Amino acid sequence: MLTTTRKALHSIWMKLNSNKNRIKTRDGSQLKGEPSPKKGQFTFGLRTVPKIKTTGYRLIWLVACSFLLVFILSNCNVKKGVYIQKLENKYYRLMVNGKPYIVKGVCYNPIPIGSNHEYDWWSDPNKPWIVDGKLMKQMGINTIRLYQTHEDSNEVKQVIRDLYNLYGIRTLLGDWLGFWEYPCPFYGDKKFQDKVKKQVLEMVNLYKDEPGLLGWILGNENNYSCLGQVNPWSTPEVDLEPDPQKQKKMRAQIYYSFINDISKAVHKIDPDHPVGLGNGELIGLDSANQFCQDVDFVACIIYRGKTFGNLFRSLRMTFDKPILLAEFGADCYDAYLKKEDQNMQAFFLEQQWNQIYENLGDKKNGEGNCLGGTIFEWADEWWKHTQDSPDSWKEHDTGAGWSSGSYYFDIRAEKNMNMNEEWFGIVALSPELENGINKRIPRKAYYVLREFWKKPVIKKARNNKAK
């Protein structure tokens, strides 16, 4: 079959090349004395080619062979797998099997009303991801981010495969890196390091061959532990240092060196998927620049309202790696007016995606270092505000867990508490069941982003211009 095709292609090629008297020069002008293309001729690259007068079988055969030629040529040099390409202008883009890929994703954790984070949705017989995947595909989502895998690898594989096979949605898999272990993550302790590393490598070995896998994300906001802000840890050496600024640096060196070590090990097992460094804001990345060069991209958690500000440029200055906005978004509850406000959420998300697109590798005016983003989050989680009270998991709490002035519509709420953790979904949950799961009700942001992704028109807005 291949030989026949080759012969046919060779024949066409010879025909094209035989028309030497119609060769143009590089600048497009015709060689002296040569006639211009006439009726019945057309140009092919730099060549002028006669239209081959033919009908029926010959024409079909010719067209088919041309398509085949294009197909073969476009695939013969394609690098398989998922990787990051650094372009000549130092911009970055994510490539999947040789084609550019913009991550249009969501963080996915489908906890039903009345349950909390311990709920095992992976083994839910109603398979919520089937319903969600369909809605996601209709919206234009091509990626989900999972913070941590499940102990039953068959169930994890089933989710990855279903989403990929049914909807073409790829999965970013993550690991908490022991961040929530009691009493704290001892990143300076060799035993702890070995345990975490082993766990990550097991995950990689289990899922690296899944066609639906997009990449790995190591940790989430674990860098805050180096500052002592969340889950603080230390080592005897660090404790001996009297200067607290130097202590921070020492912890950052330990942490980022450890991530680098894991990253190298992952690459050894799985050269076909990129490794991301989960990081809260850009904090600590000056240390990552020194000690963590083996990660492929930074997966940042950013909540800055309508603008990412100087994020993309700042990253380029401190740690020149591409960035995935791995967690960002907006809630849809106005804590000041005490009512749902889908417009507010849609406004922030559209602004954020506008900037993500502005900084993609194929855009001239941005920093060219953005790979896309995974919105926090797909669906509301009703357990989050009052986590210790199971009764409240059945209620959609309107309490706010934290404050951010950059989400300014409702910053005048009491004590400026305006961030409502249970209201971040771009899809709302209804207590009503449909297909055995809580009915999904897409919010305005769902439709706004669907339209944006269909036809992304980037509105160039100055950082501080009002809406």
Partner 1 sequence: MKKLIMVMLALSLFVPAFAATEEKAAGPKEFMVYLDKNAKDNHFIPSGWMGDYGDIKMNDQAADKPHAGTSSIQFIYSAKKAQNQGWAGIYWQNPSNNWGNKKGGFDLTGMTKVTFWARGAKGGEILQKVMVGGIKGTYPDTVSVEMGPIELTADWKQYTINLVGKDLSYVNGGFGWTVTADLNPEGCTFYIDDIKYEADPDLKPESKKQEDMPFYIYADRSTAKNHFIPSGWMGDYGDIKYDGSSKEDAYLGDTCIKIIYSGQGTQGARWAGIFWQNPANNWGNVDAGFDLSKTIKLTFWARGAKGGERIEEFKVGGIMGEFSDSDSATIGPVILNKEWTQYTIDLKGKDMSYIIGGFAWSTNVDNNPEGATFYLDEIKFE
- Binding residues (CB under 8 A) for partner 1: these are 242-245, 248, 304-307, 309-310, 313-314, 317-318, 404-406, 408, 411, 463-464, 466-467
Closer residue to partner 1 (CB): 144 or 335:
335
Closest CA to 342 of 244, 449, 246: 449
User: Which phi-psi region, left, alpha or beta, contains residue 291 (left: φ > 0; alpha: ψ -120 to 50)?
Assistant: alpha
428 contact partners, CB below 8 Å, separation of at least 6: 379, 380, 440, 441, 442, 443
Q: What angle do CA 186, 188, 189 make, to 5 degrees?
A: 70
3-state helix/strand/coil string of 21-52 = HHEECCCCCECCCCCCCCCCEEEECCEEEECC
Q: What angle do CA 288, 281, 410 make, to 5 degrees?
A: 175
Closer residue to partner 1 (CB): 81 or 309:
309
DSSP designation for 165: H
In whole angstroms, how close is the CB of 76 to partner 1 at the nearest point? Answer: 43
Computed on alpha carbons and rounded to an integer, the radius of gyration of the chain in Å comes to 27
In whole angstroms, how close is the CB of 324 to partner 1 at the nearest point? Answer: 21
CA torsion 384-388-393-394 (nearest 10°) is -150
Closer residue to partner 1 (CB): 71 or 408:
408
In whole angstroms, how close is the CB of 338 to partner 1 at the nearest point? Answer: 20
Contact 139, 448 (CB under 8 A): no
In whole angstroms, how close is the CB of 342 to partner 1 at the nearest point? Answer: 19
Closer residue to partner 1 (CB): 310 or 387:
310
Closer residue to partner 1 (CB): 306 or 440:
306
Closer residue to partner 1 (CB): 18 or 245:
245
In whole angstroms, how close is the CB of 328 to partner 1 at the nearest point? Answer: 13
User: How far apart are the C-alpha atoms of 92 and 333, rounded to whole Å?
Assistant: 36
User: How far apart are the C-alpha atoms of 69 and 75, rounded to whole Å?
Assistant: 10
Closer residue to partner 1 (CB): 365 or 464:
464
In whole angstroms, how close is the CB of 355 to partner 1 at the nearest point? Answer: 13
User: How far apart are the C-alpha atoms of 416 and 407, rounded to whole Å?
Assistant: 10
In whole angstroms, how close is the CB of 246 to partner 1 at the nearest point? Answer: 10
In whole angstroms, how close is the CB of 367 to partner 1 at the nearest point? Answer: 11
Closer residue to partner 1 (CB): 241 or 294:
241
Contact 403, 415 (CB under 8 A): yes
Q: Residue 372: enclosing H or E segment and its boundaries?
A: strand 370-375
Contact 197, 241 (CB under 8 A): no
φ, ψ of residue 210 to 5 degrees: the values are -70, 125
Closer residue to partner 1 (CB): 253 or 392:
253
What is residue 448's three-state secondary structure? helix
In whole angstroms, how close is the CB of 405 to partner 1 at the nearest point? Answer: 4
Closer residue to partner 1 (CB): 407 or 446:
407
User: How far apart are the C-alpha atoms of 339 and 69, rounded to whole Å?
Assistant: 59
In whole angstroms, how close is the CB of 323 to partner 1 at the nearest point? Answer: 16
